[in-house]
Amino acid sequence: MAERNEHSFRMVNQSLGQQPTLGPIPANLLAPSGIILVFTYCLTQIILQLSFAVFMVISAWGISSWWIVVGEKTWKFTNKFVTVPDWKRGHIRYKRCLNHYDD
């Protein structure tokens, strides 16, 4: 039986700390890619009634363009479009909810 040395390493999961992927496609690009596929399908097949090859070319162009623009860190691009809350000071006259009458 092998002795455990206090300097020995433990086996850990190799995927810890890595970004999840589905093959070569990062997981954070799956939802935008699906939206692009649905949009291009509706545009090419339903509205314009073009061939399936045209659908594949346009969808590949759209997905690759999104991938190039956004890159690995999607939040850096998409957070630019989130509106920041606008805080203002307001002065409202105090009004009681219940009236207390002194009799």
Return the SS3 of 22: strand
Residue whose structure tokens are 């991938």? 67
42 in a structural domain: yes
Q: Residue 101: inside a domain, yes or no?
A: no
| 7 occurs within a structural domain | no
How far is it, in rounded angstroms, from Cα 73 to Cα 60? Answer: 20
Q: What is the pLDDT of residues 37-77, one digit of tens each?
A: 999 999 999 999 999 999 999 999 999 999 898 887 777 88
Specify the DSSP class assigned to residue 96: -
For residue 83, tell me if it sits in a domain: no
Token couple for 83: 């509106």
pLDDT value at residue 102: 59
Whether 92 is in a domain gets the answer: no
- Are the beta carbons of 19 and 72 closer than 8 angstroms? yes
Number of domains in the chain: 1
**Res 79 pLDDT > 90:** no
Q: Taking all residues of the chain, what is their mean pLDDT, rounded to a whole number?
A: 83
- Domain-embedded: residue 90: no
- Domain carrying residue 50: 25-69
Residue 52: inside a domain: yes
Radius of gyration of the chain (CA): 28
- pLDDT score of 33: 92
Q: What is the pLDDT of residue 62?
A: 96
Structural element, H or E, at residue 32: helix 30-41
The C-alpha atoms of residue 60 and residue 21 are separated, in whole angstroms, by: 18
β-strands 21-22, 25-26: how paired? antiparallel
